[in-house]
Amino acid sequence: MEDSGYYTVTKISRHEIRVKRSVFIGTIAPAATREEAEQFVARIRKEFHDATHNCFAYRIDPQTFRYSDDGEPAGTAGRPILQALEHHRLLRTVLVVTRYFGGIKLGTGGLARAYGQCAEETIAHASLTPIVFYDTWRVRFPYEFTGTVQQYLQRSQARIRNSEYTDWVTLTVEIPQAETRSLKERLKEAGAGKIEIQENVNGNSG
């Protein structure tokens, strides 16, 4: 199956680097919502409460993101972390880079490189998985088409969310966006006009 070209991480992981005695600890985690991302940042800040800085970035979707320098000079920490997430096309992901100052100043350029390096290496050591986006359909059909519809849905790796059995069968299903066009054509041909499809019932999901 085709994927969306975006990825997320499957679990929390951590990676550490040292730059001129400063310790940079990257912690990355999946976050499906802004609230989950903020809660994770708060969790890391509590864990590393004695750190000099806990800088972060997260991307929930291409339009929903946030980053913070947490007291470092503007643009030297949060932005490089966000750029690493963007470079690897990561969504639904939060990355916190914790710094323990080692006594040697790095300068703005050095800071940006250090945070960017830690973010990149943390991502490189993480376990990534493709994100598949789904469209939600409501499919309605006579009982005699049950086997045919279920067979096509299974081939398209659709997920059935709800089933209603009255005079007709009504299924609420989530269809991978890469499969929607071909599935619609197959159902239209198989049903001879008797398989009704209502698209985008509750928006998109993934």
148-169 pLDDT tens trace: 999 999 999 999 999 999 999 9
Chain segment 49-95, per-residue pLDDT in tens: 999 999 999 999 999 999 999 999 999 999 999 999 999 999 999 99
**How high does pLDDT run on average in the chain?**
92
Using the predicted structure, report yes or no on whether residue 1 has a pLDDT greater than 80: no
Using the predicted structure, report yes or no on whether residue 178 has a pLDDT greater than 80: yes
Q: How far is CA 202 from the centre of its chain?
A: 19
CA distance 173 to 137: 5
CB-CB contact of 11 with 88 (8 Å): no
- What phi, psi does 116 have (nearest 5°)? -65, -40
* Closest C-alpha to 28, from 73, 76, 82: 82
Ordered domains of the chain (ranges, CATH): 7-130 (3.30.230.30), 134-205 (3.30.70.240)
Chain segment 16-45, per-residue pLDDT in tens: 999 999 999 999 999 999 999 999 999 999
Q: How far is CA 197 from CA 37, 126, 163, in A?
A: 36, 40, 14
Residue 202 pLDDT class (50, 70, 90 cuts): low
Average pLDDT over residues 135-143: 93
The residue ranking higher by pLDDT, 202 or 153, is 153
CB-CB contact of 48 with 16 (8 Å): no
CA distance 199 to 28: 35
